[in-house]
């Protein structure tokens, strides 16, 4: 294979490879959005987004970064080779180093910056008005209103403050139909007071003083920031057992 044919083949495969990875990134993005559009129930959509969105976003962004790195190796190949042919391989190594840096940047973008937007997106989904089987718009009850619609163990879960469970109650005021949704607050991230990113999360909970029928208890929630490593302990008072019973 002569030099001209070799360089043409190099450019062809580099361009083809970059197009494939760009296509993979776009396909991941489209597939995810199609899946989301097919989930009509807001609670099911909330659960799917909270569990999968960061993973899909990371894969799509990574595919685009790889595609861009490969594309760089198809730019000006003839010009590079006209000086020294071995510079093509040097460029390939330099691009590999750039790809590693880009990977670290992608990982930081997804795990440090994106959660801020994800939490806002989840909050919007959680507050989408539910529709009853009869087609009526349902109303989300306030904290004061919802207790009479929750079972005893649900109220106890909310008030225990252990594993931070929260219930939303939606009601169709025309028919009386109600829908109860369960959310786990401890799975969510919070803004770190040190670095300001939404990377602070509960890593463990420790009951220091168990509550009794007449005395409240003490719970320590241990938080850790996955970005800056900041740690903190929050002291929470657990209501007395008698107070947890409706």
pLDDT (tens digit, 9 = 90+) per residue, 124-140?
999 999 999 999 999 99
3-state secondary structure of 155: helix
**pLDDT given for residue 54 in this prediction:** 87
Of 121, 111, 102, the residue nearest 197 (C-alpha):
111
**pLDDT given for residue 84 in this prediction:** 62
Distance CA 233, CA 222 (A): 5
Phi/psi of residue 140, nearest 5 degrees: -80, 125
Poorest-confidence range of 60-64, 85-89, 170-174?
85-89
**pLDDT given for residue 98 in this prediction:** 78
**pLDDT given for residue 33 in this prediction:** 95
Where exactly are the structural domains of the chain? 3-126, 130-186, 189-246
Q: How confident is the model at residue 204 (pLDDT cuts 50, 70, 90)?
A: confident
Residue 126, C-beta contacts closer than 8 angstroms, at least 6 positions apart: 42, 46, 168, 183
pLDDT at 107 over 80: no
Give per-residue pLDDT as tens, 151-203.
Answer: 888 877 776 655 668 899 999 999 999 999 998 866 677 888 998 877 888 88
Distance CA 94, CA 11 (A): 17
More confident residue, 220 or 238: 220
Supply 91's token pair.
């460029």
pLDDT at 55 over 70: yes
Give per-residue pLDDT as tens, 7-53.
Answer: 677 778 888 999 999 999 999 999 999 999 999 999 999 999 988 99
Distance CA 112, CA 103 (A): 14
Residues in the chain: 246
With tokens 């909050």, the residue in question is 123
pLDDT at 81 over 70: no
Check: CB of residue 179 under 8 Å from CB of residue 130.
yes
More confident residue, 211 or 121: 121
Give per-residue pLDDT as tens, 139-165.
Answer: 999 988 888 888 888 877 776 655 668
Of 16, 47, 52, 51, the residue nearest 31 (C-alpha):
52
pLDDT at 244 over 50: no
Share of the chain above pLDDT 70, in %: 87
């Amino acid at each position: 294979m002569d030099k001209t044919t070799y360089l043409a083949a190099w450019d062809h495969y580099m361009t083809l490879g970059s197009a494939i990875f760009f296509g993979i990134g776009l396909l991941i993005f489209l597939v995810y959005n199609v899946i989301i559009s097919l989930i009509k129930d807001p609670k099911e959509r909330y659960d799917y987004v909270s569990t999968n969105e960061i993973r899909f976003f990371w894969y799509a962004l990574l595919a685009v970064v790889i595609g861009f790195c490969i594309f760089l190796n198809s730019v000006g190949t003839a010009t590079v080779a006209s000086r020294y042919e071995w510079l093509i391989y040097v460029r390939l190594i330099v691009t590999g180093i750039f790809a590693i840096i880009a990977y670290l940047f992608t990982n930081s973008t997804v795990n440090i910056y994106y959660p801020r937007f994800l939490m806002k997106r989840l909050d919007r989904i959680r507050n989408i008005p539910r529709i009853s089987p009869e087609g009526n718009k349902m109303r989300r009850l306030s904290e004061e209103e919802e207790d009479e619609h929750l079972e005893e163990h649900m109220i106890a879960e909310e008030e225990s403050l252990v594993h931070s469970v929260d219930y939303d109650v939606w009601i169709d005021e025309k028919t009386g139909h109600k829908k109860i949704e369960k959310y786990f607050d401890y799975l969510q991230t919070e803004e770190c007071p040190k670095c300001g990113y939404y990377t602070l999360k509960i890593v463990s909970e420790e009951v220091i003083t168990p509550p009794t029928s007449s005395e409240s208890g003490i719970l320590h929630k241990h938080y850790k920031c996955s970005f800056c490593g900041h740690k903190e302990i929050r002291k929470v008072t657990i209501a007395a057992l008698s107070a947890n019973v409706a």
